[in-house]
Amino acid sequence: MDLGKRGDTLVNFAFIIGMLLLAAIVTIILTRFSLFQGKQLQTDVLLSFTGNIKNTIEKAQSSPNDADFIIRVDRPIQYRMTIGKGQLNLEFSQYKFNAKAISFAANTNIVGKTIENSGTIYVVKRGNTILITDSMKCDTTDNVCDPACIIEKKCDPACYQDYIKDVCNQYCVDANHDSKIDQKDLDGVCDPDCYGNDYRGTYDPDCLKNNDNVCDPNSDNNPDGFCDMDCLITNGVCDSDCSQSDADCPHSGNNICEVKRGERCINEADCACDATQTCLGACPGVQLTPNGCINNSNLFQEGAACTQQCQCAPGLLCDSHFGTYHCCPAGNYFDSAQDKCVPNVGDGVCKVQQPFGETCQNSTADCACNGGGCCPSSSRANPQGCVMATQNEGDACSCDSECVSPLACDVTNQKCCPAGKEWDTAQNKCVIKKKFRLLFLPMFYDTASESTFKSNSDATYNFFIVKSPFQTCTAPSEHVEEILAPVDMCRSAESSCTGYVP
């Protein structure tokens, strides 16, 4: 036997077996890689399909006007699309791909039907309604519910039946076609597609029922003649048929005085008093109506004892200022000797004590000065504010009544001086007042525009005073005089002008 040739044969056989094993391993790897790529491609396609639907619906929701969109499925995809409870559900039972749910804006009425494996999907917006369907057919004569009839504002009878789950067509529940839902739409048919706790833009009043744990959000602020007890809790839905009991209902401005919510005439127009009443809100010692009003005839009248202002009838004050605590007109007090309200000023008595505080200045009739002048601010005044004219030139004063005639008081320097003079502190005597004169000439004005000339001059004069040191003077006009030249006396350069003080 030739062992050399036999050895070569064994080596070749081993090599062939090795190559076959290597080829098998490579084939397995390539197969797994191919399957991985296929699954990845499948996932990418389904994600793209789902994203396309989501983006299209969002475009429709955000569109300010009516809009039409078409989604074309280029690849054969096995899917099932359902719409309900405020969201769209996509199921892919043939693929290892999780189902996807797409939620909608709360104020959007989404209408759709179950769609399976269709190559075309329509997304149509009309007003606040978005229809998602694979058919734009609207046939009201057959037994098939066509959601597209909503776009044509028609009621498809096949969609409006008791306990048939398909779509909610608002043109079916609006039985009298007046674009609102109320008692007039009751027709004995309850379409469960138009009733529930989800938003759909309308509801069926025939379905309303108490204690069914359903407060249809579409009935919010819509009077339909039915108070749904399920809506009385705080849930964001106001049942206007029982607004006084529903915590979600706005109570201000509804023409109903809701006392249980703290509404009173003092804080809510809904609780306004009538013409024979006065609004108090709360007041001790008087009987009020629940809304805080009181009949004027029940209020305390003039002369009645009181403790608070709210107890007195309109036009009267509870006299706490003078301390008599009776209902009296303003400026009056209750005189127990006369048993009536009397005016503080003009009763013939000069009541200098507090709280009356009458003086010759605020009550000239009761506190007239006999043989002297009135100057309550003077340190030499008597209790009623009267002084005698005893101050000579250069003497201290606070008003003219203190100065011997014909002297007057320079109130800036508080010294008595002759008329036309003022006190000069540096010279320690009365001197002639220094007065500056501003002359305004009516250039380019005529008699027709004389009022404009005066107005402009006054404005300029006041501006000068404000911007000059004269603004600190008590009476700036005593130091700066405004003089206006008459417009009819300054018609040419040769005319002479005689000014006048306005």
- Residue type at position 65: N
Do residues 367 and 389 touch, judged by C-beta distance below 8 A? no
238 vs 285: CA distance, rounded Å:
39
CA atoms within 13 A on the CB side of 175: 14
Asked if residue 33 has pLDDT above 60, the reply is: no
- What's the angle, vertex CA 42, arms to CA 38 and CA 46, rounded to 5? 175
Structural domains in the chain (count): 1
Indicate the pLDDT class of residue 37, thresholds 50, 70 and 90. Answer: very low
Do residues 349 and 325 touch, judged by C-beta distance below 8 A? no
Across the range 228-241, mean pLDDT stands at 88
Flag whether 348 is in a domain.
no
Flag whether 399 is in a domain.
no
Distances (CA, A) of 29 to 25, 36, 38: 6, 10, 14
Asked if residue 416 has pLDDT above 80, the reply is: yes
Asked if residue 496 has pLDDT above 70, the reply is: no
State residue 252's pLDDT score: 76
Which pair of tokens denotes residue 429?
């005597």
Domain that holds residue 502: 434-502
What does DSSP assign to residue 391? B
Flag whether 479 is in a domain.
yes
Q: Which of 68-77, 107-116, 233-242, 327-336 comes out lowest in average pLDDT? A: 107-116
Q: Where are the beta strands (DSSP E) in 208-346?
A: 277-279, 293-295, 317-318, 327-328, 332-335, 340-343
State residue 490's pLDDT score: 58
111-157 residue pLDDT tens: 877 888 888 999 998 777 788 888 889 999 999 888 889 888 899 99
Q: Which residues contact 321 (CB under 8 A, 6 or more apart)?
A: 333, 355
Start-end of H helices in 259-385: none
Nearest of 14, 123, 118, 117 to residue 68 by alpha carbon: 123
Do residues 111 and 132 touch, judged by C-beta distance below 8 A? yes
- What's the angle, vertex CA 265, arms to CA 260 and CA 269, rounded to 5? 95
Task: Name 4's bridge partners.
Answer: none
Which pair of tokens denotes residue 175?
């039985």
Across the range 171-200, mean pLDDT stands at 89
Flag whether 464 is in a domain.
yes
Distances (CA, A) of 25 to 11, 28, 31, 35, 39: 21, 5, 10, 15, 21
Enumerate helices (H) and strands (E) in the chain, giving the number of each. Answer: 3, 22
Most confident range, picked from 3-7, 70-74, 300-304:
300-304
Asked if residue 84 has pLDDT above 60, the reply is: yes
More confident residue, 126 or 494: 126
Indicate the pLDDT class of residue 3, thresholds 50, 70 and 90. Answer: very low
Task: Name 132's bridge partners.
Answer: 112, 123
Across the range 231-247, mean pLDDT stands at 84
Indicate the pLDDT class of residue 197, thresholds 50, 70 and 90. Answer: confident
Across the range 427-440, mean pLDDT stands at 87
Do residues 101 and 88 touch, judged by C-beta distance below 8 A? yes
State residue 260's pLDDT score: 72
Asked if residue 15 has pLDDT above 60, the reply is: no
360-374 residue pLDDT tens: 998 888 999 988 899
Flag whether 369 is in a domain.
no
More confident residue, 465 or 21: 465
112 vs 147: CA distance, rounded Å:
7
Do residues 389 and 401 touch, judged by C-beta distance below 8 A? yes
Across the range 314-329, mean pLDDT stands at 91
State residue 227's pLDDT score: 92
Which pair of tokens denotes residue 106?
């709360």
Distances (CA, A) of 277 to 30, 153, 272, 295, 296: 96, 54, 9, 4, 5
State residue 249's pLDDT score: 80
Across the range 380-398, mean pLDDT stands at 94
Q: Which of 259-263, 292-296, 328-332, 458-462 comes out lowest in average pLDDT? A: 259-263
Flag whether 440 is in a domain.
yes
Which pair of tokens denotes residue 36?
């991985």
Across the range 432-460, mean pLDDT stands at 86
370 vs 42: CA distance, rounded Å:
116
